[in-house]
Amino acid sequence: MPGTIDRLPDLEIPGHRPSRPDGADHPMRVMTRRAAGLQPPPWDARARHEVAALFDGLAPEWHTRTSPERARVVTDALDRGQVGTGATALELGSGIGAYTATLGARFGEVVAMDLSLEMLRLAADGPGHRVLADAHRLPLTDASVDAVVLVNMLLFPDEVDRVLRPEGCVVWVNSSGESTPIHLMPDEVVEALPGSWTGTWARAGTGLWSVLRRA
Ligand SMILES: C[S@@+](CC[C@H](N)C(=O)[O-])C[C@H]1O[C@@H](n2cnc3c(N)ncnc32)[C@H](O)[C@@H]1O
C-alpha cells in the first residue's frame, strides 16, 4: 500500500534547462519502466548488454551533461529531503561520479556503482569506492546501506529494498523532470517499491526529486 508523499514548494534554479526534449517514447524510458517492473518484459541479459554499450559510448561526452544547476537539484533533494549523515550511501548508476563527492561529504562511505566500465574509468579520484555491477543483482548484503541514491538511474525496486537498512532512505532524482529519459514520477517510484513508503518530493528548476522512507 502506498504511503503519503508530501509535495514541498518548487525551488527556482535560474538558468536550469532540460538537456533535450525526450519523453515517454524514448528507449531508455521504456527500459526504466521495464526495470521497475511497471511494464513487461523484465530486465534481462540483453537489456543489460544494450544499456552497458549505450553508456560506454556516451561516457566520453557525459561531462557535457553536468552543470551547477543539475548539481543543485541533487543538493536540494539531500537538503530538503533531510538526508542526514549516515554510515554508507550506495550511489547507483554513478556515471562519471558527478555527485559522488557531494555524497562523500555527508556519508562516511560511498559505494559508487555502475554497469558501464567506461563511465567508471572516467570518474575522478576522490571519495567513493567504484564498483562495476548490475543494479539488478547488487553485490551487497541485506540491510547494509543507509541511503540508496539514484540520479537519472534505473530503479530495481526489489534490490533497493533488500539492501536498504530499515531506517534508510531512497533518493530519486530526475535532473530534467519529465524530459529525463530515465524518469518516473514519485508516485510511480512508490508503486514500484515493495511495501509502504512515505516521504517528500519537489520540483527543483526543471528537475524533480523524491526522498522516501519506509512507512
Ligand atoms: C543517465 S546516466 C546517469 C549518470 C549519473 N548518475 C548522472 O546523473 O550524471 C545512467 C547511468 O546508470 C548506469 N546504469 C544503467 N543501468 C544500470 C544497471 N543496471 N546497473 C548499474 N548501473 C546502470 C549507466 O551506465 C549510466 O552511467
pLDDT tens track for 72-113: 999 999 999 999 888 999 999 999 999 999 999 999 999 999
The 10s digit of each residue's pLDDT in 123-172 is: 988 888 999 999 999 999 999 999 999 999 999 999 999 999 999 999 99
> Measured in angstroms, how far is the CA atom of residue 152 from the centroid of ligand 1?
7
Tell me how far apart the alpha carbons of residues 196 and 1 are, in angstroms, rounded to a whole number. 5
Q: Rounded to the nearest 5°, which phi and psi values hold at 203?
A: -95, 140
Based on the structure, what is the number of domains in the chain? 1
Quote the domain boundaries for residue 169: 5-214
Tell how far the Cα of 93 is from the centroid of ligand 1, in angstroms: 3
In this structure, what C-alpha cell is assigned to residue 163? 539492501
Q: How far apart are CA 145 and CA 153, in angstroms?
A: 18
Residue 21 grid cell: 526534449
Cα pseudo-dihedral 162, 112, 45, 59, rounded to 10: 150
Tell me the pairing of strands 164-174 and 207-214: antiparallel
SS3 state of residue 103: helix
How many residues are given for the chain? Answer: 215
Query: What is the per-residue pLDDT for 124?
Result: 87
**182 C-beta closer than 6 A to ligand 1:** yes
CA of 52 to the centre of ligand 1 (A): 9
Give the DSSP letter of residue 42: P
**Cα–ligand 1 centroid distance for 181 (angstroms):** 11
pLDDT of the residue at 19: 67
Residue 21 burial class via C-beta count within 10 angstroms: exposed 0-12, middle 13-18, buried 19 and up: exposed
How far is 98 from 4, CA to CA, in rounded Å?
31
Q: Is the CB of 89 under 6 A from ligand 1?
A: no
Mean pLDDT of 180-199: 97
Q: Given the DSSP bridges, would you call strands 207-214 and 197-204 parallel, antiparallel or unpaired?
A: antiparallel
Residue-averaged pLDDT of the chain = 95
Atom of ligand 1 nearest to the CA of 52: 25
Ligand 1 centroid to residue 115 C-alpha, Å: 7
CA dihedral 212, 10, 20, 30 (to 10 degrees): 30
CATH of the domain at 20: 3.40.50.150
Q: Kindly tell me if the per-residue pLDDT of 2 is higher than 90.
A: no
Q: Measured from the CB, is residue 93 less than 6 Å from ligand 1?
A: yes
At residue 88, the pLDDT reads 97
pLDDT at 48 over 80: yes
Mean pLDDT throughout 172-198? 97
Q: Say if ligand 1 is within 6 A of residue 150 CB.
A: no
pLDDT for 1 beyond 50: no
CB 31 near ligand 1, within 6 Å: no
Q: Is ligand 1 within 6 A of the CB of residue 43?
A: no
Indicate the pLDDT class of residue 18, thresholds 50, 70 and 90: confident
Q: Is 154 in the pocket of ligand 1 (CB under 6 A)?
A: yes
- If you ran DSSP here, which 8-state letter would residue 190 be given? H
Backbone angles phi, psi at 213, to 5 degrees: -130, 155
